[in-house]
Every structure is written in structure tokens, then in C-alpha cells.
Amino acid sequence: MTMTLHSPAATQRRKLPSLLSLSEAAIARLRQLYAGAEQGRLLRVSVGTKGCSGLTYQMSWVAAASPGDEVITAEDVTVLLDRGATLFLIGTTMDYREAALESGFTFINPNEKGRCGCGESFHV
């Protein structure tokens, strides 16, 4: 049996996807919130268990990062990502959308395999 060793310099590594990216609309909305009602606080994104599909996106305002948070910075905006959510959110884009009757942050997650009918939960 013959073994071939590859030097680290010769091995091509593929670029890893970001943990979480923010759309321009999400950045703009977060700037507004950070300058107004949520001044001095940060948005933490996590994944919890809920609904018929099992997982749900959760967002909360916190005063500071905890030791288990990943810090995501896009332009001049910072969002915290709960470390326990990273496996579910790798490659996800957080967006902000406004419509006639609703507005809010949405998640475009390439890891999702399905969503419940009401859109409250997802599974991977």
C-alpha cells in the first residue's frame, strides 16, 4: 500500500461560508434601531425549539455579548450569534422586508429542508 502525503501549501482549501451575513436592508434597519430605541444594546440571533417543524429563529436585545456569542460585523453594524445556533445558520442571510401589512427580519437559510405551513418554524 502506497501513501501519498500532500504539503499544506499544495492543498487547496475551499472558502468557508460566513456564519451569518446581513443584507443591505437589514444593515439599514439595524442602524435605525441601534440609533433609536435600542441604542446601547445589540441584537442576538439564536435558534430555539418551537412549532411543528421543530426549530425557530429567535431574536433578543442584550446589553453585551456573552462568552458563547459569535460576533458578526457587517459594515458598521454588529449582530451577535448564539454559538449553539451556528450549525443551523451557516451560510444564512438575514434580510429586512417591508410589505403593506407587515415588516420584519427574515432569514434566507440554505440549510432549511422545510418549513411549517404558518412559517413559524423550520427543520434542517
In a domain, 13, yes or no: no
In a domain, 32, yes or no: yes
In the chain, how many domains are there?
Answer: 1
Of 58, 29, 25, nearest to 44 by C-alpha is: 58
Tell me the CATH number at 50.
2.60.300.12
pLDDT of 62:
96
Residue matched to cell numbers 417543524: 53
Q: Which residues pair with 68 in a beta bridge?
A: none
In a domain, 45, yes or no: yes
Does the pLDDT at position 114 exceed 70?
Answer: no
Higher-pLDDT residue of 102, 111: 102
Q: Which domain holds residue 114?
A: 20-123
In a domain, 1, yes or no: no
Does the pLDDT at position 43 exceed 80?
Answer: yes
In a domain, 27, yes or no: yes
Does the pLDDT at position 5 exceed 70?
Answer: no
54: its cell numbers: 421543530
pLDDT of 122:
60
Residue 119 DSSP symbol:
S
Render pLDDT for 47-59 as a digit per residue (tens, 0 to 9): 877 665 578 888 9
